[in-house]
Amino acid sequence: MAAVTGDSERRPFGRRSYLAGLTGAVAMLAGCSGGGGDGDGTGTSNAKPSETGTVPTDEPPTSDGSPDEPTAEETATPEPEPAEKRPVARLTPDGDATAFGSGVAVSDDGETLVVGVPGIADGGGVAVFESSGDGWKRATVLQSPESSYNDAVGSSVAVSADGTTVVVGAPGAGHAGAGAVEFFARGADGWRQQGRLFVSDGDRDDLLGTAVAVSGDGDLAVAGAPADERDEDEDSAFTAGSTYTFEREDGSWSEVDARTPADTGVVNWGSAVAMSAAGDRLLVGASVRGSGGSVHVLDRDSGGWDRTATLTAAHDDENGDRFGRSVALAADGTVAVVGAPWVDIDADDEVDRGGAAYVFDESSDWSQPATLQPRDVADEGEVGESVAVTDGGDRVVVGASGVRVDGQGSAGEAYAFERADGEYRHRATFRPDSAQSASYFGSTIDTTGDGGTLVGSPSRDLDGQRNAGAVFRFD
């Protein structure tokens, strides 16, 4: 998912406003740094046992002269506090590149990590890291010789299960932001580009490559073009969006399918995508300012993709919850996670744009989603800006790029939720080694097969380099 933080306007994107918001990411990443502070508090009880070993009570006696029995709620074991996690490693860009961490994806075996860097000179690119005995080592930087300034290559990235195929979105490429998708493969002689594709019906400002996904074997890929118009009206205020499917055969990629929403009310279809390992199930987000957004489940057979479900959650879309801003799908396709970073928190909507993530399970017909929110979140925390899920769906990690940390606005956090006895509970909170204002930690996120977590902070300042960006690794 492209690591782009929207502004405060709450209206649907038109094509050009969407383009400005997305391909302006590199320019947007020219702002803000800050410092920090902390504090805590404790309390103790002064209750004193009586001579009989019981604690005196002021409760009136019951009819038999004994105090009321405590309720189940009063005797329940309190939930443990979530563990606070600090990074074990930090990855940073080379040279004067910016927006490092705009896309993050790791192979299933945890051996290959790809990081989108749309702020590399000559149009952006992807940094590839390989795991070694003492951490991650930079292996190479993937760049297309055809890319040029403002292509925003690396705004979104995806990697196959074995780490040998990388799919990259370049939403600013082509004629006035039509967008493109790039494909790279690793062989015995290293990495090479297998293609750079535009789509057959692409047009200016479509933003193809805003989001990308790839199957486990690396032979099937999907890319979103959320600003594709639903008709020929150049002045249309809304864009329906499209998704395109690409297939590899004998080392060559080609476009094999295009999908647009059948519902006229769906806007920005393809703003987020996720695919099952088998390549037979797809999640498509349609998130837009000014509406609640929607997410759709598509299943693939010999005839192509068919929509089989639409995911919704009980949320108020009056101010634009952006449901579907981020999506993730378990490897077997049975558990889906959806981010809604602008949803208001609490029954009375007392926390504005606190955000939330929702977990849907196919076993319950994709209904009755679990709602994931950290214990404490303030206004504009934007929980759900990014989401990731482990293969079995038992662990979900959620980014909250707008959270204020140690007095630093939009420093960001991320949260791990684990499922036990059918319920998800907040088990860990991830923070960088130091909070920094407007660094947007949590904009992108992924999980490793060994339980690790990778979190992108694409606007972080480093050693005098503004908006260089960083990716943090947590155990």
- The predicted-structure confidence for 188-243, as pLDDT tens digits, reads as follows 999 999 999 999 888 888 999 999 999 999 999 999 999 998 655 454 446 889 99
Task: State how far the Cα of 402 lies from the Cα of 440, in Å rounded to an integer.
Answer: 6
The identity of residue 43, as a single letter, is G
CB count in 10 Å sphere of residue 54 = 9
Whether the predicted pLDDT of 453 surpasses 50 = yes
Which two tokens mark 335?
């558990």
The percentage of the chain sitting over the pLDDT mark of 90, rounded to a whole number, equals 63
Residue 286: alpha-carbon gap to chain centroid? 14
Q: Which helix (H) or strand (E) holds 72?
A: helix 72-75
The first and second tokens of residue 202, run together, are 């692409």
Residue among 248, 232, 233 at smallest CA distance from 182: 248
Q: Structure tokens of 405?
A: 């940390």
Nearest to 22 by CA among 7, 47, 2: 2
| pLDDT of 69 over the 80 cut | no
What average pLDDT score do residues 338-352 get? 76
Q: pTM for the full model?
A: 0.84
Q: What is the pLDDT of residues 258-296, one digit of tens each?
A: 998 877 678 899 999 999 999 999 999 998 755 678 999
State residue 468 phi and psi, 5-degree precision: -65, -40
Q: Which one of 73-87, 246-260, 284-298, 374-388 scores highest in mean pLDDT?
A: 246-260
* Alpha-carbon distance values, 77 to 74, 310, 425, 428 (Å): 9, 38, 14, 19
pLDDT in tens, 376-412: 777 788 999 999 999 889 999 999 999 999 999 999 9
85 has which bridge partners?
430
Beta bridge partners of 257: 245
Q: What is the CA radius of gyration of the chain?
A: 23
Question: Phi, psi at residue 75, to the nearest 5°?
Answer: -95, -5
Q: How confident is the model at residue 133 (pLDDT cuts 50, 70, 90)?
A: confident
Q: How far apart are CA 224 and CA 211, in angstroms?
A: 5
Distance CA 240, CA 262 (A): 9
Q: Are strands 395-400 and 413-420 parallel, antiparallel or unpaired?
A: antiparallel
Render pLDDT for 146-181 as a digit per residue (tens, 0 to 9): 999 899 999 999 999 999 999 999 999 998 789 999
